[in-house]
Amino acid sequence: MWWTATFEPIWTVSLLPGNSSGWEKVVEGVDGELVAGDPVGLVAASRSDTDAPLAWLPYLAAERSVDEFSGLWDEARQREVTRGSFRYHQVQGTRPALDRALTPLGYTIRVVEWFEAGIDRPYTFRVKVTIGTTDEWLSTDHGRIVRLVNRAKNAHTKLEAIDAHRSAGRAAIYVGGVPTRRRTLRVGQIPRPSTIRIAGYAFVGASSVLRRTIRVHPR
């Protein structure tokens, strides 16, 4: 837990005036028990991205206008995104805002503007995504990137394309050979063969195996 449950005693001093009705006094007593039963510091902890209980983080992220948030992320990632929301909104509409918006997705993402790629289409840019060998890439991920980019970029630039590449890691190449030897003996009318030829051949082969694993499960 990120907070300590310390319980205070039920109120003993009434704040109601002397002419209060019996119903008002009963309500005051019920409210006093509820307030006394709340852990001290929980309200303050709920406002902190470091100390808030994990189940409360989605509400804190919504309060801070986090554009993309998922309860399926691990706890460290949820807190990091919530913590960085203020810094993101400070630079929204700039190149650093694109980097901050795309970082939580977990992929290696690079923004390439038109003058960096040598493209003669001003104010356009591309997003290059490198997917790891064990990372998932679903159809919804493409839409998520487009949505985040459109929220983070300025108004006069345009996302031209998303280039996704999967890192396949190291590939193994196997080379095999089978040596053969053949002797040819020609027998004709000549009593003794005049020529004996020995020829050798070497055969080299190679094969390449590409494995692709697709995991399908609900998000």
pLDDT digits (tens, 9 = 90+) for 85-95: 888 888 888 88
Q: Which residue has the higher pLDDT, 23 or 211?
A: 23
User: In the chain, pLDDT over 90 holds for what percent of residues?
Assistant: 3
Cα of first residue to Cα of last residue in the chain, in angstroms, is: 28
Please choose, from the candidates 109, 102, 95, 86, the residue with its C-alpha nearest in 3D space to the C-alpha of residue 154.
95
Which alpha helices (H) appear in the chain, and where do they start and end? 22-37, 42-46, 57-63, 75-83, 85-90, 95-102, 114-117, 139-152
Would you say residue 66 has pLDDT above 60? yes
Name the band, by pLDDT with cuts 50, 70 and 90, for residue 101. confident
Residue 149, token pair as written in the block:
């980019």
Please choose, from the candidates 103, 99, 124, 94, the residue with its C-alpha nearest in 3D space to the C-alpha of residue 111.
99
Would you say residue 83 has pLDDT above 70? yes
Please choose, from the candidates 105, 97, 46, 55, the residue with its C-alpha nearest in 3D space to the C-alpha of residue 80.
105
The mean pLDDT of 25-45, rounded to a whole number, is 69
Mean pLDDT lowest among 43-57, 116-130, 163-177, 179-193? 179-193
Q: Which range scores top for mean pLDDT: 144-148, 190-194, 212-216?
A: 144-148
Cβ–Cβ < 8 Å for 148, 68: yes
Largest Cα separation within the chain, whole Å, is: 144
Would you say residue 12 has pLDDT above 70? no
- pTM as predicted: 0.53
Would you say residue 123 has pLDDT above 70? yes
How many CA atoms does the CB half-sphere of 190 hold within 13 Å?
A: 7
Cβ–Cβ < 8 Å for 128, 165: yes
